[in-house]
Chain A
C-alpha cells in the first residue's frame, strides 16, 4: 500500500495510473464509478434477458426457446436487475455522493469498500455461469420458492446459493460502511437534521440492509442444507413447511423493496427543489416519513403471501399494515408537489426524470394499494397486474431516479456538461416506450394472464404484442443513454462548480470536477447552514 502513503503525503496527488488503480483503489469516487459501471453493465445484461422474454411473448406459440429456458430468463432477469443493477447503482451513488454531501474526505472504511465492490463481479460471474451448467441456470423465479428451488432444482442451484451469499456480504459491508461514514465522518458542525435527504434515506436504507440481508442468507443456507445435508426445513415429508420459506424470503424481500426505493426518494428530493428554485417542502416530515416507511417495511411481509392459506386474522392484520404504508408515501408525494407549487421551474433532463418519477411511481403506488386489498388480491395475485405494478415502482421508480441522479451529478463527477438536447430526446423516447411496455400489462393481468408463463391463450395476444414493441423501443433507448454519458465524459463542455445555479448541497462547493479527496478540512457551520435543505 505504498500509494496510500504517497497520496497521504500529498493531497493533490492523483490516483495511480492504469488498471491497478481500479483493482487497488480505496477512493470513494473510484469505487463509486466502479459500482455505477458494474450496475450499468448488469442493467444491459438483465435488459438483454428481458428482450429475450418479450421476443418470445411477442406472439402466441413458442417460437424462440423452450419453456425451461424461458423460466431461466425470467429468473435471471429478476436476480440480475435486483442484485446486479439497482442495488449496486444505489451503492455507487452513495459512495460518490455521501462523503461530498457530509463534508468528509472519503468513506470511513475504505479498504472494506474496495472489498465490498470487488466481491460483486465474482458473485455476478458465478450467477451468470450457471447458464452453461448441466440443467441450466436457476429457473424457479427470482423469489426461488421451495420446493421448486430445493428438491426439484438442478445442481447449478448450489452456485446460485453461493452467489447470493456473496452478494449479501457485499451489501452488508456496504451498509456498515455508510452507517460508519454518516455517523463518524460527518463534518463536526453538521447535525443530523442538517443532513441532505439523500444521506438520510441512505442511512435508513443501510439499517434495512443490515436487518434484511442476513435473513436472506439464512433462507439460502436452509435451502443449501435441505438440498445437500438431509434437513427438511421446507419439506413437509420431513416435518417442514414450504410456506416457511416464503415467510423467511419475504421477511427479507419486503424491506428489500424499500432498500431499492428509499434512496430514490432521496435523489428526487434533491432534484425537484433545484429546478423549482424553491426550498424542499417539509424537510423534517420527509425524514420522519422515510423512517416510518422503513419501520413499516418490516411488518408487512406476508402481503406477498395472501394465497398461501393464512388465517383470516393474519390476512386482516397484513392488509391493514400494508394500507398504512400509503400514508407516509403519500406525505412524500404531497411534499414534492408542494415544492414545485409556485416555484419557478425549468425542465432540464434531471427534472424531467424527477417529475416523471413522481407521476409514474405514484401510479405504481396506486396499483400497490389495490394489491393490498386482500379479496381483490385474490384476483391480482401472480398475474401481469403484479408485473405491471412492480415494474412501475422499480423501473419508473428506482431506475428513473438513478438516471435522474446520473444526469444531475454527472457535471460534478466529470466537470463537464452532457448534451442537453440529446438527453431530452432520450427522456421522451424512454418515458413513452416504458409506458407502452408496462401499461398494457395492467390490462393483461386483470383479464387473467398469469405471470411467468412462456405462452398464452389468444385473447392476450394484442396487448402482449404492444407490450413487446414498447419493450424493444425501451431497450434501444439505453444505446442512446450510453452514448450521452460517454460523450459527456469525453467531449462535454467544462462547467462551473455549481452548474445548476439554485442547487444546494456541500458537493457543489467543491471544484467543478470534484477533487479526488473530497473535503480535506471540514466545512464551517456557516457553509453547512447555507447549503442545508432544512432551511
Chain B
C-alpha cells in the first residue's frame, strides 16, 4: 500500500507543470491579459472536449467490450429514434453556444487596439524583422544571432552551450513594462507572421497592408517567439526576442538608441577609407547576405547567384547600388539599412571573393535613393 502511495505521488509530481516545463506540454499562460484570457478559453474548450470524449468513447468502448459475439451477445435490431437524434443535435448546440459567448468576448477585447499608449511598427523581411519606433525615431533590424547560425550545422554540444538555440537575435525589441503597446505589422516582401506566444499576439504581416495587435506586459523579462507563416528558405531562422524592462530602463535605452542613430547619420556624411568600408561591410554581409549568397560568396545557384565573379559586383556601381536598394525577383530590397552600412556592404561585395569592383561611399548611396 505504501509503495502504491509513493508511486501515485510520483505520478502526480510528474503531472505537475514543473517537471514537464522543460518539454512544454501545454499552451503558455503568458504575461498579458489577452494571453491569460486565451489560455482560459483553451483550457475550457479542452476540458469540455475531454468530458464529451469520456462519455462518447466510454459508451463506444463499453459496447466494444460488452456487445461482442464471442461473449454471446445477440444483436438487437433497433435502427431509429427521433428522440435520440433530437437530443444529440440540441445538446451539442447548447454546449457550443456556451463556448461561443466567452470566446466572442475575448475576441472583441483583443481586437480593440484603441487604448494603446505607444506604437511600434514591425516589418517582416526575408528573413529578419525590422522594428521602428516612429515617435522616438528609432529603427533597427533584428537578425538571428550569429551563435545560432554557426550552430545549425554544428554538434548538439554547440547548440546546448550557446543557450536559446534559434531563439536569439542580435538586436532585441525593447518595451516598457505595464504599458499598452500597439504593434503595426506589415511586410516588405512575402507574408510573415509575428508571434510572441507569451503575449498572446500572432498576426500576419502582409506586404502592402498594415495589421495591428496590442499587448500590455505586466512582468519584466525576456520573451521569445518566431515567424509563424512560411516565408521562404529561412522561415525557421527569423526569431523574435523582446526585452520588457522597467519604465526607467526603457527611457535610458531610448536615449542611447537616439544617440546611436545620430552617430550613424553623421558617419554617413563623411568619406570612408576602403579598409573601414571592407571591415564594416564584412559584418553587414555576414548578417544580411550570407544566408543566400553564402559567406564565401559562392551563393546557391541558380536561385541565389554567386557573388564571386558576379557581373553586377564587377560591373557599374550604380547597377549594384540599385540592385541592393530595390531588389529584383527573389532578391529583396535592403533600403532599410543605413547609407553607411549599404556603402560598406556593396564595397565589400565588389572587392571580396576576388572581385574587382569600385569603392562605394555612403554619399553615393544617399544620392541613389
Binding site for B on A (CB under 8 A): 59-62, 66-68, 71, 134-136, 139-141, 145, 147-148, 151-152, 154, 235-237, 241-243, 276-283, 285, 307-309, 312, 315-316, 319-320, 323-324, 326-327, 330-331, 333-334, 337-347, 355, 358-359, 362-363, 366, 369-370, 373-376, 378-379, 381-383, 443, 446-448, 450-460, 462-463, 535
Contact = CB atoms under 8 A, between A and B. Distances in A.
A136 B232 CA distance: 13
Nearest first, the 5 closest Cβ-Cβ pairs linking A and B are A236-B208, A447-B24, A453-B236, A309-B211, A279-B79
Contacts of A279: 77, 79
Contacts of A134: 302-303
Contacts, number: 297
B249 interface: no
Q: Is chain B's binding surface mostly helix, strand, loop or mixed?
A: mixed
A236 B27 contact: no
B189 A152 contact: yes
A241 B193 CA distance: 16
B5 interface: no
B159 A362 contact: no
B96 A327 contact: yes
Interface in B1-60: 22-28, 34, 37-38, 41-42, 45-46, 49, 52-53, 56-57, 59-60
A315 B111 contact: yes
A114 B203 CA distance: 47
Interface stretch (B63-71, B272-280, B310-318, B348-356): B63-71
A450 B67 contact: no
A66 B291 CA distance: 11
B228 A381 contact: yes
B75 A277 contact: yes
A308 B207 CA distance: 11
B80 A282 contact: yes
A60 B159 contact: yes
26 contacts: A135-B303, A141-B230, A148-B191, A152-B189, A307-B193, A315-B107, A316-B104, A316-B107, A330-B89, A333-B56, A334-B56, A340-B67, A341-B59, A341-B67, A342-B78, A343-B75, A362-B56, A369-B49, A370-B49, A373-B45, A378-B110, A447-B28, A455-B152, A455-B166, A458-B159, A463-B23
B309 interface: no
Interface in B120-164: 126, 151-156, 159-160, 164
B322 interface: no
Interface residues of B, number: 100
Contacts of A66: 233, 300
Interface stretch (B175-183, B194-202, B254-262): B194-202
A319 B226 CA distance: 25
Contacts of B96: 323-324, 326-327
A237 B187 CA distance: 12
A320 B67 contact: no
Contact of A373 (B52, B99, B234, B237): B99
Contact of B68 (A59, A319, A324, A345): A345
Nearest to B62: A341
Contacts of B76: 278, 342-343
B240 to A, nearest CB: 11
Contact of A344 (B74, B79, B225, B229): B74
B125 to A, nearest CB: 12
B87 to A, nearest CB: 9
Given A340-B67, A344-B74, A443 B23 contact: yes
Contacts of A315: 107, 111
A390 to B, nearest CB: 15
A75 B84 CA distance: 44
A242 B100 contact: no
B290 to A, nearest CB: 14
A370 B42 contact: yes
A253 to B, nearest CB: 15
A18 B154 CA distance: 55
A147 B42 contact: no
A61 B103 contact: no
Contacts of A455: 152, 166, 236-237
B197 to A, nearest CB: 5
A242 B193 CA distance: 14
B303 A280 contact: no
Q: Which of B79, B81, B108 has the most CB of A within 10 A?
A: B79
Contacts of A334: 56, 84, 88
Nearest to B50: A366
Nearest to A153: B330
Interface centre among B41, B60, B70, B154 (most CB of A within 10 A): B60
B67 A453 contact: no
B103 A342 contact: no
A282 B42 CA distance: 33
A276 B209 contact: no
B60 A340 contact: yes
B93 interface: yes
Contacts of A148: 190-191, 230-232
Given A324-B96, A462-B23, A342 B73 contact: yes
B159 A68 contact: no
A278 B77 contact: yes
Contact of A152 (B34, B85, B190): B190
A140 to B, nearest CB: 7
B298 interface: no
B60 to A, nearest CB: 5
Contacts of A343: 63, 67, 73, 75-76
Nearest to A330: B92
Given A345-B68, A382-B228, A454 B156 contact: no
Contact of B156 (A59, A67, A452): A59
A477 B22 CA distance: 32
A343 B56 CA distance: 17
Given A319-B103, A375-B37, A278 B75 contact: yes
A71 B77 contact: no
A30 B227 CA distance: 48
B207 A341 contact: no
